[in-house]
């Protein structure tokens, strides 16, 4: 027996030594994101990954030269291949500082495509963009693809021809010598990048095709997964699902399901699969939070969104010009010839899923199409999917890696090693719970850790994850608790500005900033990567609403009402004294 004890000690020391090499922050495969946007909302409030990409491509161009010909066609072609592209007249946010918006878009793009035309260098704005792109190439390893539109690269690199004329004007303008020097250096650097595309004699259609194919090949090489090294355990899980998708087969539409408990990482994994393989399909769509979307929108509305994304402007044009039925008939005819990737996240109602896919999921799309469906309910997936993958929690080492990266600034100190091993047992491999627990223990003393772990030990064994989440809630002050419940009941997915306005009104002007910061620091809420939307994980929302429901069996005696049936019952019942909106 002593041999087994010795082996256990050696294994413990080995894993402990590995943890000392961990460098925070590390995000989890697991926490499920809500929005159907391109960016992964990793753990709704946990420490962010180093780079969060919102766009695949940033398009830099001189509007007067190419906006209404080459660039507009290129943008449409990229969008048609489900390549998220930034173009200023479409994506520029109103009410946001233009420079901040543009610079942020450049930083959040995997690659930049620069369309050099005769008058590109005339614009100081274009040249400033170019300098920013060159900086991101150095600091963020951004891939840059120069496209020389009707002009030789030498004119750009050496500032001759029309570029020489432009810089002669810049020397006489208000631009500082330092800025002009930066412009010249950026032009020289970017014009010398290998693999550029030179368009002199070919047609515009051929140029667009070449650029799109080059972008697709480049995005395949810079796999999104490689840009998120902190997603614990994601690589093996992607490989598992890839084997079920049978991507090499073009003969049929294949449907794969993914099921698992809330918080285990289904949405994040589904998003990683989508980002990893979308470029291999003619059209793609990620429909996030299907269950909650059905509470706000009709099945037909969601189907229109699906068809519109897959077919683009062509579908929208036919919808505007024809009746809805004719537009749908046209869309279905087109879709049967289109190889698509569709991800439908968090399905609860199999009938709604069937209706979304027009009751014929295997024949609606072209041969070689793939549909990935996630759900907490195995029965929902069993009858519709070819294969069902079980998304499991993290193993002990993965759990320790994720936990340690969120609770310690550096490696685990000796005095917290044993406590950390004890702590990771309670979340049972659930990454959301691991992150929430880590945030609750961050910067705390050993005595505090001991008290929390003792409380978890005394909790209901079959409620381990909920016990962990409740620990963080119980550590809030009164206003923070109320604000958390407000978000859980009313404000999930609402704009940050609106939520802060409502919280200021409820808990005092200026209080919302501290409240939102506190809830975010504890990973109880998150802010979407656009910085504009308040998010909350489904498990946390369920916990918050459960707290309100436990206030009383009578809805009229509860502090908050969100269910329309409860609201109707309370409003129509005699004896209601006070109702506050």
129 given a catalytic annotation: yes
Structure tokens at 493: 């997915």
Q: What is the CA radius of gyration of the chain?
A: 27
CA distance 326 to 79: 24
CA distance 250 to 367: 6
| 149 Cβ contact partners less than 8 Å away, ≥ 6 residues apart | 65, 66, 70, 115, 116, 117, 199, 207
What's the distance, CA 529 to chain centroid?
A: 7
In whole angstroms, give the CA distance from residue 541 to residue 545: 6
Q: For residue 466, how many other CB atoms are within 10 A of its CB?
A: 16
Q: What does 351-408 look like in DSSP terms, one character per residue?
A: HHHHHHTTT-TTTSS-TT-EEEEEES-HHHHHTT-SEEEE-----HHHHHHHHHHHH-
d(CA 107, CA 111): 9
Instruction: Give the 3-state DSSP-derived string for 15-29, with helices as H, strands as E and coil as C.
Output: HHHHHCCCCCCCCEC
How many residues appear in the chain? 581
Q: Where do the H-state alpha helices sit in 22-70?
A: 63-66
- The SS3 assignment for 492 reads coil
3-state helix/strand/coil string of 67-117: HHHHHHHHHHHHHHCCCCEECHHHHCCCCCCHHHHHHHHHHCEEEEEEEEC
Which residues, in sequence order, are CB contacts of 573 under 8 Å at separation 6+?
556
Tokens 């753990």 locate to 43
- Looking at 129, 293, 398, 480, which residue is catalytic? 129
Which DSSP category does 563 fall into? -
| Dist. CA 29–CA 237, nearest whole Å | 9
Q: What is the DSSP letter of 495?
A: B
Task: Report H helices in 289-360.
Answer: 290-296, 299-311, 313-321, 324-335, 350-356
- Beta strands 55-60 and 85-86, pairing class: parallel
State the DSSP H helix or E strand holding residue 535, giving kind and residue range, or none if neither. Answer: strand 534-535
Q: List residues with catalytic annotation.
A: 129
């Amino acid at each position: 027996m002593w041999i087994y004890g010795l082996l256990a000690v050696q294994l413990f020391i080995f894993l402990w030594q590995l943890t000392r090499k961990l460098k925070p922050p590390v995000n989890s495969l697991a926490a499920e994101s809500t929005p159907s946007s391109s960016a992964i909302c990793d753990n709704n409030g946990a420490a962010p990954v180093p780079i969060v990409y919102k766009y695949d491509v940033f398009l830099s161009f001189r509007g007067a030269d190419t906006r209404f010909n080459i660039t507009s066609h290129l943008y449409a072609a990229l969008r048609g291949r489900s390549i998220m592209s930034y173009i200023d007249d479409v994506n520029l946010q109103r009410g946001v500082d233009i420079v901040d918006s543009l610079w942020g878009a450049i930083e959040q793009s995997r690659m930049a495509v620069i369309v050099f035309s005769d008058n590109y260098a005339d614009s100081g704005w274009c040249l400033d963009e170019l300098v920013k792109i060159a900086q991101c190439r150095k600091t963020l390893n951004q891939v840059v693809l120069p496209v020389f539109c009707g002009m030789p690269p030498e004119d750009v690199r050496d500032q001759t021809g029309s570029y020489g004329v432009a810089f002669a004007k810049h020397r006489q303008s208000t631009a500082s010598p330092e800025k002009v020097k930066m412009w010249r250096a950026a032009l020289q650097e970017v014009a010398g990048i290998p693999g550029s595309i030179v368009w002199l004699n070919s047609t515009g259609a051929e140029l667009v095709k070449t650029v799109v194919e080059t972008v697709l090949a480049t995005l395949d090489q810079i796999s999104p997964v490689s840009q998120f090294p902190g997603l614990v355990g994601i690589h093996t899980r992607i490989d598992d699902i890839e084997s079920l998708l049978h991507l090499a087969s073009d003969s049929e539409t294949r449907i794969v399901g993914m099921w698992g408990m809330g918080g285990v990482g289904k949405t994040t994994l589904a998003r990683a699969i989508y980002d990893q393989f979308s470029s291999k399909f003619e059209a793609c769509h990620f429909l996030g939070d299907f269950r909650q979307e059905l509470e706000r929108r009709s099945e037909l509305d969601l189907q229109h969104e699906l068809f519109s994304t897959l077919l683009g402007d062509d579908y929208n044009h036919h919808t505007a010009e024809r009746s809805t039925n004719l537009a749908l008939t046209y869309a279905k005819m087109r879709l049967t010839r289109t190889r698509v990737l569709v991800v439908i996240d968090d399905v609860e109602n199999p009938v709604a899923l069937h209706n979304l896919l027009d009751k014929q999921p295997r024949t609606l799309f072209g041969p070689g199409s793939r549909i990935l469906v996630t759900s907490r309910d195995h029965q929902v997936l069993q009858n519709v999917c070819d294969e069902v993958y079980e998304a499991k929690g993290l193993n002990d080492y993965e759990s320790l890696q994720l936990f340690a990266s969120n609770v310690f600034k550096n490696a685990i100190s000796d005095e917290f090693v044993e406590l950390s091993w004890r702590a990771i047992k309670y979340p049972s491999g659930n990454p959301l719970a691991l992150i929430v627990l880590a945030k609750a223990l961050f910067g705390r003393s050993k005595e505090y850790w001991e008290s929390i772990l003792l409380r978890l030990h005394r909790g209901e064994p079959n409620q381990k994850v909920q016990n962990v989440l409740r620990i963080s809630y119980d550590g809030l002050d009164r206003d923070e608790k109320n604000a958390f419940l407000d978000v859980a009941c009313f404000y999930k997915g609402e704009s940050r500005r609106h939520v802060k306005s409502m919280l200021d009104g409820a808990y005092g002007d200026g209080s919302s900033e501290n409240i939102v910061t506190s809830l975010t620091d504890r990973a109880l809420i998150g802010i979407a990567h656009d910085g504009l939307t308040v998010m909350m994980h489904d498990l946390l929302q369920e916990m918050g609403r459960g707290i309100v429901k436990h206030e009383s069996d009578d809805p009229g005696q509860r502090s908050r009402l969100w269910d329309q049936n409860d609201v109707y019952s309370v409003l129509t019942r005699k004896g209601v004294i006070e109702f506050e909106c």
